[in-house]
Amino acid sequence: MTGCIAVVGAGQAGLQVALGLRALGYDGRVVLVGAEPELPYQRPPLSKGFLAGTVPVEELELRDASYLGEQRIELVLGRSVVEASVGDSGGELRLDDGTTLAFDGLALATGANARRLPVPGADLPGVLGLRSVADAERLRAGLADASDVVVVGGGFVGLEVAATARAQGKRVTVVEAADRLLARVAAAPFSAHVRAWHEAQGTTVLTGRTVAALAGSGRVGGVVLGDGHLLPADLVVAGVGAAPVTDLATALGLRVEHGIVTDPSGRTSHPRVVAVGDCTVQPHPHDPGRLLGVESVNNAVEQASAAAAVLLGLDPGPRGVPWFWSNQGELKLQLAGISDGHDTHVVRGDGQDGRLTVLYYRAGRLVAADVAGNPRDFNAVKDALARGCTIDPDAAVDTAVPLKTLVSAVREPASLA
């Protein structure tokens, strides 16, 4: 026994494993290895306040160095783990400076990499992705000089960047291949509400359009669409999703299917290794035969806290209701539960007052909601899901009735919100 738990990846999830171990009374060494040079920081502001220049870099830090010192969390920053091995009684990591670290337990919290655009011209200067603080600094500098910004991808990160760029007076176009924004996560009325908000700000939204190439000599000058149309652009942002980082997991022989396969508490196929956060895929809450990646701060924090318990042989307890938020300028979106797999939905409100709620049902039971501009609805749904309750879909459409008064018990407990 080495008396050491190693955590690879010093992001939101990795830090939470380390803090969770201490909170649960683990007294051995906790070593947190992170490839980025910064102290563990939060990513959500990178596409919002930090990009806009209203949130300074110091405010991104999740915990300051002195607190981590008090917690005896050993930080090895700016170093990557390049090799790992594990057996029945423990294992060893090798870092990119040649040093090695023996461990009893291992947490993989390696996150995800921003996907690059798979088209000619994607490596031209002026074509940027967004995942790290270094990316956000490059993007912020690029925005300062840009006039025509094209955001490829109408998901949360792309739309947040679009809102930030538009608020700075840039001409902004969002190009989305699907026939509506947020198609992967939201029902059509919610997509339409989000689109209407962006268009009201003056952003051009093109859906059902693919990108064939990025044009320019020396620097990006335009985006060539699949139909041959050329959009002028002096800055292109790729908001086309992220790919889980799984190379170490594969080398360790863990089960990997797109992400590292875990249970909701981070257990992998090896008893000494947990994996947490964006690098993982978990059983789908409504269809356990399928796997689902849940890229959110809430998942990173909850799965990591549970995984710390697993590493110590403790009961991680039940998981809470999954939730997510996205701020796109004044547009405040909140999502509770997992809507994927719903069979019906109910729309509450018409969005005219900025508020719209979509409730999702599966087999007659509430499973999720997407909420715009209405924290009360969000809290009511989150509460209902946490208590295994439902909300009468017919009554929910009446916006004069507060949603929380409609929360009612169901006969058997819900499997997972």
Question: What residue ranges bind ligand FAD (CB under 6 A)?
Answer: 8-14, 33-36, 43-44, 46-47, 80-81, 109-112, 130-131, 157, 245, 248, 277-278, 295-298, 300, 324-326
Q: How far is CA 204 from CA 99, 209, 308, 367, in A?
A: 51, 13, 45, 33
Beta strand 259-261 pairing with 280-284: parallel
For residue 378, give the nearest of 324, 327, 330, 328 by alpha carbon. Answer: 324
Instruction: Tell me whether residue 220 or residue 245 sits nearer to ligand FAD (CB atom).
Output: 245
The residue among 186 and 389 lying less far from ligand FAD, judged by its C-beta, is: 186
Alpha-carbon Rg for the chain in angstroms:
22
Tell me the helices (H) and strands (E) count for the chain, helix number first.
10, 29
Q: Which is nearer to ligand FAD, 31 or 309 (CB)?
A: 31
Residue 152 beta carbon to ligand FAD: minimum distance, rounded to whole angstroms: 15
For ligand FAD, which is the closer residue by CB, 55 or 224?
Answer: 55
Q: How far apart are CB 396 and ligand FAD at their closest, in Å? A: 25
Taking the complex as a whole, the smallest distance from the CB of residue 348 to ligand FAD amounts, in Å, to 23
Closer residue to ligand FAD (CB): 83 or 179: 83
Q: Closest distance between ligand FAD and the C-beta of residue 269, in Å?
A: 19
Smallest gap from Cβ 248 to ligand FAD, in A, equals: 6
- Between 79 and 404, name the residue whose CB sits nearer to ligand FAD: 79
Choice between 262 and 296, CB closer to ligand FAD: 296
The DSSP secondary structure of 146-205, one letter per residue, reads -SEEEEE--SHHHHHHHHHHHHTT-EEEEEESSSSTTTTTS-HHHHHHHHHHHHHHT-EE
Considering the complex, state which of residue 109 and residue 367 has its C-beta at the smaller distance from ligand FAD. 109
Taking the complex as a whole, how short is the minimal distance between the CB of residue 130 and ligand FAD, in angstroms?
A: 5
Alpha helices in 357-407 (DSSP H): 375-386, 393-396
Minimum CB distance to ligand FAD smaller for 11 or for 221: 11
Provide the minimum distance between the beta carbon of 215 and ligand FAD in the complex, in angstroms, as a whole number.
26
Q: Which helix (H) or strand (E) holds 389?
A: strand 389-391
What is the nearest approach in angstroms of ligand FAD to the Cβ of residue 128?
12
In the chain the first and final C-alpha atoms are separated, in Å, by: 39
Q: With CA atoms as reference, report the closest residue to 335 among 302, 366, 292, 379.
A: 379
Q: How far is the CB of 374 from ligand FAD (least distance, A)?
A: 17
Distance CA 182, CA 156 (A): 7
Place of tokens 């875990």: 262
Q: Backbone phi, then psi, for 40, in 5-degree steps?
A: -50, 130
Residue 362, classed as helix, strand or coil, is: strand
Give the span between the Cα atoms of 134 and 142, in whole angstroms. Answer: 12
CA distance 400 to 229: 46
